[in-house]
Amino acid sequence: MSNSDKKQPTQTGPKSLAGKAIARRNSMKHGMRAKKLLTSFEDPKEYEDHAERIFQTLVPQDYIEEEIVHAYAYAIWSSPRGERYLQAKSTKNRYVDEETIAKKLGIKPDLLPFVPRYLCKMDYEISPERTVDGVYLYERFKELEKEIKDSDLGQWDLQKTAALYTELFDRFEQWNDEPLYCNANREIDEKWIKDPHSFWKRLEGFSCCLYFEANFMRLKPQIRVIYENEFWVNAMNASLAQGFSGHYEKTQNFAFKQLERLYAYRRLKQKSEKNGV
């Protein structure tokens, strides 16, 4: 068999030079920590793999976040949860859904049914152009909300509003499962004219989708922490009733504390960025 006929090995790691450098650096970091932290009968390579899985879940963005995530990873490793974490990793969605995350982000209860399904998908990407469009339309909705606040919706001139907020209403019609206009002249369907309260409720639901179009990429770091924390709260607390020692409870509480630290730190960074600091 010639060299050209030989099957080439499949590359499973990062392909770019930058990706390879990051993977090599992370491996060295996890490996050095493993040698310092583990007992003689524990396998440093297993700890490296464990730490890398945690890092891929929480994606630390700077040195402070790396230190917090390292502390969290070791707390899991050093308790009976290490084995449970590997077993339960594939079933996270059983415990954490979009509405759970949205509640933690402060979304109003009546808007939870409108939360987009991609909220639990950390590999989902919204392009910069789509984000800008979402920001613009969400701001237009907030302007409209301010205009009609405390007003009598029964007196709402919906046709006039549609002319002033053309882009918002056009996008709403694309999203809604019922037509907004009844003809090519863009006259509002009689159903909505007669029941402006129902129309406003639907428009509020649409605004929830716009909010995440505008903010999903910015909120991803926070969502990762919420996702991980809620998983442990729902899936692992029951283990305390199964006869684990006090060591288990202490390490669990310590791990939760690291997630709280990471969540608070990321919120502080977002607030600073928003204020232009």
- Residues 130-153 have pLDDT tens digits of 999 999 999 999 999 998 887 888
d(CA 259, CA 269): 15
- Which residues contact residue 216 at a Cβ distance below 8 angstroms, ignoring those fewer than 6 apart? 116, 118, 119, 124, 126, 131
Contact 120, 93 (CB under 8 A): yes
What is each CA distance from 274 to 226, 268, 270, 271, in whole angstroms?
21, 10, 6, 5
Question: pLDDT per residue over 64-93, tens digit each?
Answer: 999 999 888 888 787 655 555 555 555 555
DSSP of 156-185: --HHHHHHHTHHHHHHHHHHSSS-SBSSTT
Contact 103, 182 (CB under 8 A): no
Q: What is the pLDDT of residue 76?
A: 79
Percentages (nearest 5) of helix, strand, coil residues in the chain: 75, 0, 25
d(CA 75, CA 236): 14
Q: Which residues of the chain have pLDDT under 50?
A: 1-14, 17, 19-21, 23-24, 27-32, 240-241, 243
Q: What is the pLDDT of residue 173?
A: 93
